[in-house]
Amino acid sequence: MSPATRDEIMTVAAARSLRDGARCFVGIGLPSAAANLARRLHAPNLVLIYESGTIGSKPDVLPLSIGDGELAETADAVVSVPEIFAYWLQAGRIDVGFLGAAQIDRHANLNTTVIGPYASPRVRLPGAGGAPEIAAFSGEVLVMMRHRPEAFVQQLDFVTTPGHLEGGDARSRAGFKGRGPTRVITDLGVLEPHPESRELILTNVHPGVSADDVRDATGWRLKVADDVAETEEPTVQELGVLRDLRERTERAHLG
Amino acid sequence: MSPATRDEIMTVAAARSLRDGARCFVGIGLPSAAANLARRLHAPNLVLIYESGTIGSKPDVLPLSIGDGELAETADAVVSVPEIFAYWLQAGRIDVGFLGAAQIDRHANLNTTVIGPYASPRVRLPGAGGAPEIAAFSGEVLVMMRHRPEAFVQQLDFVTTPGHLEGGDARSRAGFKGRGPTRVITDLGVLEPHPESRELILTNVHPGVSADDVRDATGWRLKVADDVAETEEPTVQELGVLRDLRERTERAHLG
Amino acid sequence: MAKIIPLSEAVGDLIGDGSAVAMEGFTHLIPHAAGHEIIRQGKRDLILYRMTPDVIYDQLIGAGAVAKLVFSWGGNPGVGSLHRLRDAVENGWPRPLEIVEHTHAAMAAAYVAGASDLPFGVIRGVHGSDLHEHSKAVRWIESPFDGERVLAVVAHRPDVTVIHAQRADGDGNVQLWGIVGIQKEAALAANSLIVTVEEIVDRFDAVPGEMVLPHHVVTAICHAPGGAHPSYAQGYTQRDNGFYTAWDAISRDRNRFEEWITHHVRGTTSIAEVLDSIANAGDGE
Amino acid sequence: MAKIIPLSEAVGDLIGDGSAVAMEGFTHLIPHAAGHEIIRQGKRDLILYRMTPDVIYDQLIGAGAVAKLVFSWGGNPGVGSLHRLRDAVENGWPRPLEIVEHTHAAMAAAYVAGASDLPFGVIRGVHGSDLHEHSKAVRWIESPFDGERVLAVVAHRPDVTVIHAQRADGDGNVQLWGIVGIQKEAALAANSLIVTVEEIVDRFDAVPGEMVLPHHVVTAICHAPGGAHPSYAQGYTQRDNGFYTAWDAISRDRNRFEEWITHHVRGTTSIAEVLDSIANAGDGE
């Protein structure tokens, strides 16, 4: 078996973060791969909820969109979009939300709206989608992003999705019920908010990655935990299941 | 065939008021009988909507409750209760609403809440149900009540459901979109609001009933139209269909 | 999350004296078995929510279990008055009953707000209805966009909601169909959810018009076939129209009511026994 | 009310220059055929609503039909950017595009408010999001009961909503199933409703998970099998994932985009011809 790629390590690390039975609000791409991997490993009772309204989906391959037919066909319940946002997400019935972003700052606030000024952006990004409410109302949020200096920035161009706002207890003062981003899982390592300042701290590096590598890929002066750990290599089982899932996905979608 | 009873004449008169294709919000009892009679006569495309959420019900017999199984089984669509009130009634998608009441005043305001003071009622009535919104948001409202002095009163004990409020243009000033009560069909005749004052005027008497009979059964000084008409006797077809419907209903519910 | 347990245990564990309880079912699927169990266990001072309090709430009120009722239409559908509800409001018997009353539209919006974790729901409201003047649960507010007046209705957040459904599966998912009324909103507005069911199956067959409540929002599932009687469960039981009619005479008289409750509810332990007891007595048929 | 007419007639009669149009479908059942017809007829200055503007809105924007876009997530799902949307916002090509943007939750609440004839919807909102600061379509309001701040969202009331569905029957009732998204609310929020369908049948078979829109809320039904392509209609067609991927390269380049639209949309008269045209050109597969 060939060694794990960085995206694979990132996906496995995210999958390991999910406890069995959790209700997980899943986006497309890496989060969906991580959640579906976890469901095949240690978390067979993970409840996958997609914003298209499918609750308890059990897809056999990875969906290419949050509205793939298989998500509906294998769900415990399919509800309307107003309901998924009001009765499920806003009502606090999601344990874990997954988010990605174009930019993140040291307090895990996220930008998916624009690079440059809002009125005349240099790059127009897709926008908010469900992210602000996912971050506000989920029990906790896992962020998955590739670690690059232009993505891990000193100052967001636009705060689409508040994470820990300006840090400290700002989040709970603003009335958010969930704990907000608890882990930022990247292709280099894992950042976690400091318990008091809520500034993101490097707590894990992936195999073969040094803390300096991660600092170099971060646009702010990244703090590193005293006891930074190395992520355990993906096991043969983890990697095997992930690769099998991806292979079957490719066959299904292109076949 | 035995002559029509007063309740039968009242039901037939109400049925005749319904135009084919109208969307009709139906309560139980006389309104349901009238609507289902109309659907079997001149209005085969009448759309019956019950507040339990059944849209386009086509019951074979009269339902005993607004939630009878047959209403759901024969409906074009069954929706939730929040939806029937928000998306259908409040949104103005009902053409004709039917109401009854314990008390009505000269401007067709209705009381279904209490006889006596609200805090210590002499008679506690069932309450509002859907009536206030039916009267506010339906295109027009037909009221069906048995004509008695204690029901047709000078002064309501409680305004559950505004009809024409204090009369004149009060209703449109209050922002109601529908036309409000357009006919009050009783077992003695038909009252209609005066085009300007909106005071109820006797416009029809049923066969064998005089205007004085109706005045005697009304708790306020009832005005009578100059050209008060006599309700056309129920035809053999009308009466036959109504009696057949009632007979089949009794067999079905008691059988 | 969903445990399959006896109804007596669910009511005993989840409903206390003073609990706020919503028992919903719009004509269809009314949880009578659970109501009886609440009476049997002698719960007191309950705050009850229900759009259409009917025979089961008449029984709970007459049995003295209820301190406050939040509702929008309280009658015996197709028959007439609820005499126990009337006696409580008109005469304070067997105890005074505080009431908060709404229109159906307002009750529905209040459940929607509760299910959505919002402090209030919004409806157009009906200008000129005395009902809105007598309620602290509604307030006129203005649209921040055009100043239009609409009615805010305080959210319903019961401690426990109780519903009856056709089926549960082994995982604790709940399936119901037919007239689904306000059940989903009532279920999701509450902190705990008790569901009595006609049948527990391994896996659901999909049914047109079905609503599924996933196991993770269900607290307790109790097997209680016939538990909606005299209401019905589409596909399982028929509405017992005769009982609704007979209830009028039973409930009209305090003594007859008390005998009925003592004999058929307090003297039984399950809905199956209630139905036998009624049939044997020829009482309520 | 519901008339069965050709799509060209429905678009011609009901959509004018400057119309506010919502074309909904949450990944599933996206009304591409109707979008093409709007381009063919050269409609201008449209105000378009859609939660997830994807390829069909990229085409409409690139074709110059759109003055304003109200949306919550504008990307090519699973692929990347919508290059025509980006070009319009970043460079004003082929014309400047005004945008009003929301979160998904706010868009959903705005459609619910429109379907309910309310001036606004209410959600909790997200304190600290710059999004709420840049929008005139939302305002913070206080609960009249406890002072809690919640977010009011102005209702969506499009002139016309367009959706794609699996079936219509002879009376003009519409049946759809699978992921039903925001379609009902979008349909009921609009003054007119155009529905393209895979099939017209005499009578529906009931399908689990179905949603039925009764004939009296449907303005026009147009037979357009395959009309969701490259999106899909559950039970009828498959999502064409290859097309979504191919669209990235087509839309990235203004000239290639214009050639594609000229050849495959303006040079055809129906979705069937579009699909043939694409297949023959090997363009978009």
CB contact under 8 A, C134 and B135: no
- Is the bond into B59 cis (omega within 30 degrees of 0)? no
B93 contacts chain D (CB < 8 A):
yes
Is B224 strand, coil or helix? strand
| ipTM of this complex | 0.97
CATH code: domain D3-104+156-283 is 3.40.1080.10
Model pLDDT for residues D234-271, shown as the tens digit of each residue: 999 999 989 999 999 999 999 999 999 999 999 999 99
Residue A147 lies in a domain: yes
- Give the nearest partner residue to C115 out of A21, A56, A91, using CB atoms: A91
pLDDT in tens, A9-23: 999 999 999 999 999
Q: pLDDT tens-digit profile of C157-178? A: 999 999 999 999 999 999 999 9
Per residue, what are the HEC states of chain A? CCCCCHHHHHHHHHHHCCCCCCEEEECCCHHHHHHHHHHHCCCCCCEEEECCCEECCCCCCCCCCCCCHHHHHCCCEECCHHHHHHHHHHCCCCCEEEECCCEECCCCCEECCEECCCCCCCEECCCCCCHHHHHHHCCEEEEEECCCCCCECCCCCCCCECCCCCCCCHHHHCCCCCCCEEEEEECCEEEEECCCCCCEEEEEECCCCCHHHHHHCCCCCCEEEEEEEECCCCCHHHHHHHHHHHHHHHHHHHC
Average pLDDT for A68-89: 94
Residue B239's pLDDT band, with cuts at 50, 70 and 90, is: very high
What's the rounded Cα separation, in Å, for the pair D285 and D282?
6
> Is B250 annotated in the active site?
no
Residue B207 is assigned to a structural domain of this protein: yes
**Across the interface, which of D117, D124, D154 has its CB nearest the CB of C118?**
D124
Instruction: Tell whether omega for the bond before D214 is within 30 degrees of 0, i.e. cis.
Output: no
Range of the domain at B202: 6-254
Does residue A250 have a pLDDT over 90?
no
Which CATH number characterizes residue B176's domain?
Answer: 3.40.1080.10
E strand segments, D6-159: 20-23, 46-50, 66-71, 98-101, 120-123, 138-142, 149-154
C118 in contact with chain B, both atoms CB, cutoff 8 A: no
- The predicted-structure confidence for D190-244, as pLDDT tens digits, reads as follows 999 999 999 999 999 999 999 999 999 999 999 999 999 999 999 999 999 899 9
Report, as an integer, the average pLDDT of A61-76: 86
Give the model's pLDDT for residue D185.
98
**pLDDT at B254 exceeding the cut of 90:** no
Inform me whether the pLDDT recorded for D4 exceeds 90: yes
pLDDT band at A29 (very low <50, low <70, confident <90, very high): confident
- pLDDT at residue B185 tops 90: yes
Given a cut of 70, is residue D69 above it in pLDDT?
A: yes
DSSP three-state, residue C145: coil
Q: How far is CA A22 from the centre of its chain?
A: 15
Q: Chains D vs B: touching, with 3+ CB pairs under 8 Å?
A: yes
Q: How far apart are CA B78 and CA B58, in angstroms?
A: 13
Q: What is the mean pLDDT of the segment spanning B73-86? A: 96
Optimal mutation site among A45, A76, A80, A96, interface C, most CBs of chain C within 10 A? A76
pLDDT of residue A255: 52
pLDDT confidence of residue D263: 97
Pairing verdict, β C211-213 and D192-201: unpaired
pLDDT computed for residue C283 by the predictor: 64
Q: What is the CA radius of gyration of chain C?
A: 19
Q: What percent of chain D has pLDDT over 70?
A: 99
Check B51, B133, B192, B199 and give the catalytic one: B51
> What is the location of CATH 3.40.1080.10 in chain C?
3-104+156-283
How distant is the Cα of D121 from the closest Cα of chain C, in angstroms? 8
In the predicted model, what is the mean pLDDT of residues B134-138? 96
Mean pLDDT of A169-190: 95
Q: Do D214 and B87 touch (CB under 8 A)?
A: no
Average pLDDT of the residues in D172-195: 97
- Flag the least confident range among A38-42, B68-72, B157-161, C97-101: B68-72
> Taking CA atoms, what residue in A is nearest to C203?
A76
Would you state the structure tokens that stand for residue C131, as one six-digit string?
Answer: 């009902």
pLDDT number for residue D283:
64
Q: How many domains, chain B?
A: 1
What is the rounded distance in angstroms from the CA atom of residue C123 to the CA atom of residue D119?
A: 10
* Per-residue pLDDT tens over the stretch C4-40: 999 999 999 999 999 999 999 999 999 999 999 999 9
How many whole angstroms separate alpha carbon B53 and alpha carbon C275?
30
Q: Which of A161-175, B55-69, B189-203, D67-81 has the lowest mean pLDDT?
A: B55-69
In B, minimum Cα distance to C29 occurs at B67
Q: Is residue A43 part of a domain?
A: yes
pLDDT of residue B172: 92
Residue C285 has pLDDT above 60, yes or no: no
Find how far residue B154's CA is from the centre of its chain.
Answer: 20
Q: What is the pTM of this model?
A: 0.97
Average pLDDT over residues D18-45: 97
Average pLDDT over chain D, rounded to an integer:
96
Determine the residue type at D182.
Answer: I
What are the chain C neighbours of B27 within 8 Å (beta carbons)? none
Q: Is B144 on the interface with D (CB under 8 A)?
A: no
D-chain CB neighbours of B56 within 8 Å are 214
Taking phi over 0 as left and psi of -120 to 50 as alpha, with beta for the rest, C162 belongs to beta
Task: Assess if residue A1 is contained within a domain.
Answer: no
Higher local confidence (pLDDT), D51 or C1: D51
Neighbours of chain D (3+ CB pairs under 8 A): A, B, C
